[in-house]
Amino acid sequence: MLKLQDAEIFYGQMEVIKKVSLEVKQGELVSVIGANGAGKSTLIKAMMGLVKIRHGKLFFEDQDITDFPAWKRAELGIGYVPEGRRIFGDLTVEENLKMGAYKIKDKAVIKRNLEKAYEMFPKLSERRNQLARTMSGGEQQILAISRALILEPRLLLIDEVSMGLMPIMVNYCFSLIKELNQQGITVLVVEQNANKVLKIADRGYLIETGQIMVEGTAESLRNNDVVLKAYLG
């Protein structure tokens, strides 16, 4: 479904992603793990079109989307949950969700998708008129995920879902990601919490200093000496 080939990404003159290749097959839940600063967020931003790939190619369902802007990728069916949630704090919960539906012209479809979000997350329904910035971090993360789902993506890119959350909400978010995948959404999640994400993923990649160091099934990564020593303790 998604294929990255020999990607090189620079910030100015500094190369931060060095000939990285990875793929996500339809229906998979794939993780990219690594320490803070390893290049995980840069990688996922590049897949969404928020960071330019200087060399290399990105394909979505066999279509070359390397130079597509982010909004065009969203139209194709790629959803994005950014690091730090990035909800609109001065808008209500419902206004945030409607921002996720910006490309849907049919008001009946928007209404249907809003109701689906409220059905899946009753807490959002209760707070639909509440300003998003007054919600807890965990509730804001649920809102960010719901906003991404409004456009009914076939592929969901998730950046550091556990960041800044209480342990109970971390567990909830990972179980939610697994549930969404089981419902048919293909997922790529980059995550520092290797222990949690490798329990739900099918496959994974370990990135260090902008390079893929290890790849394989989630089980093989959990048993890999490098991963065990550096990330699983």
Q: Tens digits of per-residue pLDDT, 113-163?
A: 899 988 888 889 888 999 999 988 888 889 999 999 998 999 999 998 888
Cα–Cα distance, 32 to 44 (Å, whole number) = 9
Please state the rounded mean pLDDT for residues 178-194: 94
Is the pLDDT reported for residue 233 higher than 70? no
User: Residues of the chain with pLDDT > 70: what percent?
Assistant: 99
Strands 29-33, 186-191: pairing kind:
parallel
What pLDDT shows up at residue 4? Answer: 98
**Residue-averaged pLDDT of the chain:** 91
pTM of the model: 0.90
Between CA 170 and CA 80 the distance in angstroms is 18
Instruction: Compute the chain's Rg from CA coordinates.
Output: 17
Q: Under 8 Å CB-to-CB from 211, ≥6 apart: which residues?
A: 18, 19, 20
Name 6's Cβ contacts closer than 8 Å, sequence gap at least 6: 19, 20, 21, 55, 56, 57
Q: Half-sphere exposure of residue 209, counting CA atoms within 13 Å on the CB side? A: 0
Q: Quick one: what percent of the chain has pLDDT higher than 90?
A: 65
DSSP classification of residue 233: -
Mean pLDDT is lowest, of 48-52, 68-72, 126-130, for: 126-130
Q: Look at residue 156 in the predicted model and tell me its pLDDT.
A: 96
- Residue 190 confidence class, pLDDT cut points 50, 70, 90: very high
Both tokens of residue 197?
Answer: 């994400």
Q: Please report which helix (H) or strand (E) contains residue 9, including its range.
A: strand 2-11
Say if residue 157 is exposed, middle or buried (CB neighbours under 10 Å; 0-12, 13-18, 19+). buried
For the chain, the distance separating the N- and C-terminal CA atoms, rounded to the nearest angstrom, is: 33
* DSSP secondary structure, 117-183, as one string: HHHH-HHHHHTTTSBGGGS-HHHHHHHHHHHHHTT--SEEEEE-TTTT--HHHHHHHHHHHHHHHHT
